Structure 1
């Protein structure tokens, strides 16, 4: 059975939210949350401290002075593993304007099934439990660079964002694949990571497509070994090279 634990996230000792998450890579989860929620830049994080409690795990993010200029949207409810916006108090905080990404990388269509095959091999927790999601980053050829898993699809993507920020990986040089449905929050997090291409194995929502267009993100969904559908930003996808005569 997969583990699901209450993870209390705070900034400089001030409680912010409680996430229901798989208790692995929690410092990456916290760092990714900082980035994808537009709380601060990754380089503004000075220290992340984790502490186990009887009820769960407390993770405190220590930020550099002045880093809270971009205020975290307030929450009054725990973030459940199925929800990326639980507890957000105002409509204006739920659907916020997104940054517009530059041209970024371009990939060939065949890089997508190559990536899916590689991800299937590396989903250790998913194969064991059949109850977790994965988020992974690939280079422009479809080679897997990093993967993270969690019971929550948003947590998996935040863990990926945190891992990439720690490693100094440029999100504009490749593409993200998620094994979940593509709600608009997944597009939002990908945009704030700075990655121009998002691939999902399930269908997108109408709002996800609209937000992808707003952020200049290439959105590919219903991705399978035998094909995929392009919902936004198709200009970044190149046709296969012609075989020599």
Structure 2
């Protein structure tokens, strides 16, 4: 498909949902990392078909590093009743059916703990290009972080990740589990521009942390007399080839802002 025909193709083959207004009564907690173009992200949340959500923007260092304490305050506060979390960069514009599709999938697929969707990137002059991903592949995730820019996680798995994660990639790789990580076809969001060099260094750090956890689990299995998988070692040998294709020089520095919705958004 020529990229110039993408908009027409997207309208013709738009993903189906259960109904115009989802009957899934689960609340979504949206974590925006950074404070660049936060208002645009909140406007896209206000337009969601899935009306139950709360959101927070966390100040970021470098590309997507954040203070875990601020995240935990949100988890214990406005997001205390949320069923799942959505993580993305500030400036991400969520498709109007994104939260509804995440909620519907979690309701219909009890074996799914985390889901990522396809995304769009700006191509200049108002054009957009699709990034259509494949079913989950651990090696690609470690090398490219391809599903980490907009993903949803069940509450329990998200809380576990936020005990130690300090970046967007870190959260994603803390939550991945082959067989329980799903791909949702169709765009769920348009991404802001990305600083490739800063993003790559954070992905490398998050991947190394993943390998450290895998080694620890392997040692625990060995101590119990069970064999461990060597799959992560294959990806580790290829990690240094990780790269990204999008650029920005914007960095987030302001204090965290929390927004909560019960039919409207308010500051905290």
Q: Could you tell me the TM-score, scaled by structure 2's length?
A: 0.24
Q: Which has the higher strand share?
A: 1
Q: Could you tell me the TM-score, scaled by structure 1's length?
A: 0.26
Q: Which has the higher helix share?
A: 2
Bigger relative contact order, structure 1 or 2, given CA contacts below 8 A and separation 6+?
A: 2
